[in-house]
Structure 1
């Protein structure tokens, strides 16, 4: 798993050129931990929430992230017509 980076409390792991995982220990809208898949294509990044609360923290702590979780998040983005 790529190294973790932090930016103003938000932590991220780059998965490839297009996708990254984003973890917020306290999301601004609800104050709980939140894990999301980020599609970093220009012009605007898109997000699919993977988990909130304790589950988000557990998943973020894994050295190897479950592929089935990533595939579900990518499918969610595709379902919204956001992935090509």
Structure 2
């Protein structure tokens, strides 16, 4: 998965449910294997890019979202939208 900060001054703590992911590249540069790290959230700032490898623990629906609540609900308006996506992992 690739997260790109293309916004106007916000930092988005992007989080994947279902276990940690491995950060393999930052800002277009591959991270050497010895320096890669596991995380469950990366803070993506303006102009930044993170490439991560994530493997679902089991089939099901997994949420990827910004950890700032009003960024996932269109400024606290319920009904979805905003910075989130569901990945449906099939068996």
Q: What TM-score do you get using the length of structure 1 for normalisation?
A: 0.25
Which has more radius of gyration? 2
User: Which has a greater percent of strand?
Assistant: 2
Q: What TM-score do you get using the length of structure 2 for normalisation?
A: 0.24
User: Which has a greater percent of helix?
Assistant: 1
